[in-house]
Structure 1
Amino acid sequence: MLHWERGTVVELRAGWAGVTRLLVRLEDIDQTVKALAYPELTGSPGMGESVLLNTNALRRDLGTGGEALVVARPEAQQEPQQIDGHMVKARYTPMQTMVDAIDDPASEHYETLRSADGLDGMPVVVADLHSSLPAVVAGIRADAPAARIAYVHTDAAALPAAYSATAAALRAEGLLEATISAGQSFGGDLEAVTVHSALLGARHVVGADVAVVIQGPGNLGTGTGWGFSGVQAAEAVHAAHVLGGTPIAALRVSSADPRERHRGLSHHSATMFGRATLAPLLLPVLPTDDPQYSEFHASVAEQVESTIMGVGRERGVEHHNIALRSEGLRAALDVLPVKLSTMGRGLDEDPEAFLYAALAGRCAAGLTTQR
């Protein structure tokens, strides 16, 4: 069931591209709440305007930014945006929206997508946590500063690509060439019906040297072996493989997570890249002669060998352990114009979480210079 509440906009807060943020005074109780609107869906509410809010997550105190969501502006008169194509996303929900997808017959890119049949070896970095995105980008930029990077936003978590303030900031700083929203997600610079067509669009429409595929903010986990939204990353690996790309795993690693199943190599990485993946992967880890190498990193390497590479060999899939040094990566992470945070921990609290994502970016950068 949806939890509806009505209110009046009393303040306009700082937002970002694709997102309007507000303070709303509720009608039925004496309370002011933070709220968020997607102009693509509702337009931008103004001061003094009446709005209808969905407060489900807010009232349950879930980790969704602590904001209600604007679902309607009862008094607004708004002309619908002209859409040439016929693609619908968030299909059959009350908020379904029309988009111009690159693989729609009405798209200017349609013939390009029709004739595209491969990725030409393009490296594709795959991760499960959205917080890995800026660290992956930092790793790429550290070694290939001119690389064109496309981010494929999948539909496992936040459907609106605009919800990612991180991706918006990376785009604004010129560190990402484009965001492509794939599947049921929407609101990217480009839209695609599947991860496959998004990857083809990254290569042949955006002209990307590297694609990064990650779900949006809002990873859902249950503590069970298979019940986490990031498991969808395995399908991104398969898509990259069948299209002739080079899949690279951004391993989820932590030395600070209080949950044992996520310390060292997370069980999520072991499951999605080990048990769920049926295509070969590159697995970036630290070499033994790296100045940062320690017992912790040795343990991670052992976990990668036993839970991913070993499982792959049992199934006839040969993954490749890629040893990459860490020099320069901390500096690249330090100068990023976006905040690094994963599960509430920053770079100083959990440096390994960002180091392994940056190693995946470094691995991709090396492949761009070889093509």
Structure 2
Amino acid sequence: MIRFARGIVRQVLSERPGAQEIEVLADGLGRQVINYIDLMGRVESGEEVVLNTTAVELDLGTGGYDFVVWRSGASSQGDSMPHEEALVKMRYSPFQKAFRAGELELPEDANIEGVPVVACELHSQAAAVAAGALSKRTAWVINDSAALPACISRLMPQLRSLGWVCGTVTSGQAFGGDYEAASLHSALLIAKHLLGAEVVIVSPGPGSAGTGHKWGFSGLSQVEALHAAHALGGRPIACIRASEADQRPRHQGVSHHSRTILQQAVFVQCAIAAPEGKAAMLAEFDRHEIAEVEIEPALQLLRKSLPNLASMGRTVDQDRLFFDFALAAGVLAQKAAF
């Protein structure tokens, strides 16, 4: 069962587009809580709220926050809701919500006309990809294989403020982007035709899941992105997951996730980038197109602009291999863009 707690908002700690981080007094304890503004509206100090505390009480690494699910000051007055051609997301859940479908503005027979599409397995790879592709107009598509609310991402507003992404599209059940799309395919079309993207990054939101089983990981969504890019006339580029710091043997060097995806799950030829001197690590992927690229300028930019960037708690310098391969994918996309 879902676990709930009732409490009082002590203070609003911070706010970013779509989300507030607040402190709530519940059961005599101060709890760090996220409130999704698109779903609940803005909360204020002194309001009574009900929290979903499931993830924190289970001590989960993924989704380890409390969330506001009801507030005493909630009101739907003045909340505009699209009625014509509405796209409902989180369907058949207590929080289903209607959005305006971005597809309404697309030409019927569109394709993405050779645009490079960098498919990432993890959310944190997107920042390094964007740094590598910086000279091109880059859009970011968030798929629905991890966190559904895009605003849970602290990285997204950072990349927007740096000018590294020109806009966002949330696809499938994910929500909160500049545009909403029913599918990943239409999200790529929106990125190209409505955001004017020269490069598209596709990633999950934060909070990917893995069970340790060869096929039991949410990052398999990378396969759909690569196939969609191919189907729509784009150039699919696979961002390799690699690590020199992960203590789990299956993720050391090139991750078993990338091996499963590129050797068994993907049925189209993809481009794969390696940092200079690392192409030999990709020898097993010889049915794909391997390119070795220079990443040093992009690496220095990443360090300077996002000094606190981390993936699974590891910074750029603590796991260079992870970030180097993501930077390489971005550099390759920049070179491939028209």
TM-score normalised by length of structure 1 = 0.87
Q: Which residue of 2 aligns with 1:305?
A: 283
SS of 1:130's partner is coil
Alignment of 1:360-371 (within 5 A): 360-368=329-337, 371=338
d(CA) in 2 for partners of 1:54 and 1:124?
36
Q: Which residue of 2 aligns with 1:4?
A: 4
Q: Which residue of 2 aligns with 1:225?
A: 214
One of 336, 340, 345 as aligned partner of 2:305 = 336
Q: 1:240 to 1:338 in 2, by over 3 A?
A: farther
Task: Give the drift of 1:175.
Answer: 1.5
Is 2:228 the counterpart of 1:239?
Answer: yes
Number of residue pairs the alignment of both structures matches: 336
Is 2:133 the counterpart of 1:140?
Answer: yes
Alignment of 1:240-279 (within 5 A): 240-279=229-268
Alignment of 1:56-205 (within 5 A): 56-64=54-62, 66-79=64-77, 80-84=79-83, 85-103=85-103, 107=104, 109=105, 112-116=106-110, 118-141=111-134, 144=135, 147-205=136-194
Task: Give the drift of 1:38.
Answer: 0.8
Q: Which stretch shifts more, 157-166 or 323-332?
A: 323-332
SS of 1:230's partner is helix
Q: Which stretch shifts more, 57-66 or 179-188?
A: 57-66
d(CA) in 2 for partners of 1:113 and 1:92?
30
Cα distance per residue 1:261-311 (max 9 Å; x no partner) = 101000011111221101110011134xxxxx3xxx36xx34x222x33xx
Letter in 2 for 1:39: I
Q: 1:113 to 1:24 in 2, by over 3 A?
A: farther
SS of 2:82's partner is coil
Task: Give the drift of 1:75.
Answer: 4.2
Task: Give the drift of 1:78.
Answer: 3.0
Q: Which residue of 2 aligns with 1:280?
A: 269
Q: Which residue of 1 aligns with 2:46?
A: 48
Task: Give the drift of 1:221.
Answer: 0.6
d(CA) in 2 for partners of 1:20 and 1:150?
24
d(CA) in 2 for partners of 1:325 and 1:124?
19
SS of 2:15's partner is strand
Task: Give the drift of 1:333.
Answer: 1.5
Q: Which residue of 1 aligns with 2:33?
A: 35
Name segments (4+ residues, structure 1) moved above 4 Å: none
d(CA) in 2 for partners of 1:131 and 1:171?
15
d(CA) in 2 for partners of 1:365 and 1:125?
10
Task: Give the drift of 1:64.
Answer: 4.0
Cα distance per residue 1:80-136 (max 9 Å; x no partner) = 333243210011011111111111xxx4x1xx34241x1110000011010101100
SS of 1:151's partner is strand
Unaligned runs of 5+ in 2: none
Q: 1:42 to 1:338 in 2, by over 3 A?
A: farther
Task: Give the drift of 1:237.
Answer: 0.4
Is the Cα contact below 8 Å between 1:157 and 1:215 reproduced in 2? yes
Is the Cα contact below 8 Å between 1:113 and 1:197 reproduced in 2? no
Between Structure 1 and Structure 2, the one with more strand by share is: 2
Task: Give the drift of 1:65.
Answer: 6.3
d(CA) in 1 for partners of 2:31 and 2:181?
34
SS of 1:168's partner is helix
Task: Give the drift of 1:4.
Answer: 1.1
Task: Give the drift of 1:165.
Answer: 1.1
How many percent identity over aligned positions?
Answer: 39
d(CA) in 2 for partners of 1:31 and 1:188?
34
SS of 2:305's partner is coil
d(CA) in 1 for partners of 2:193 and 2:74?
40
Is the Cα contact below 8 Å between 1:134 and 1:336 reproduced in 2? no
Q: 1:154 to 1:338 in 2, by over 3 A?
A: farther
Is the Cα contact below 8 Å between 2:115 and 2:198 reproduced in 1? yes
Task: Give the drift of 1:232.
Answer: 1.1
Letter in 1 for 2:254: L
Cα distance per residue 1:168-214 (max 9 Å; x no partner) = 21112222111100001011111000000000011111110000001
d(CA) in 1 for partners of 2:74 and 2:182?
31
Q: 1:195 to 1:177 in 2, by over 3 A?
A: same
Is the Cα contact below 8 Å between 1:125 and 1:250 reproduced in 2? yes
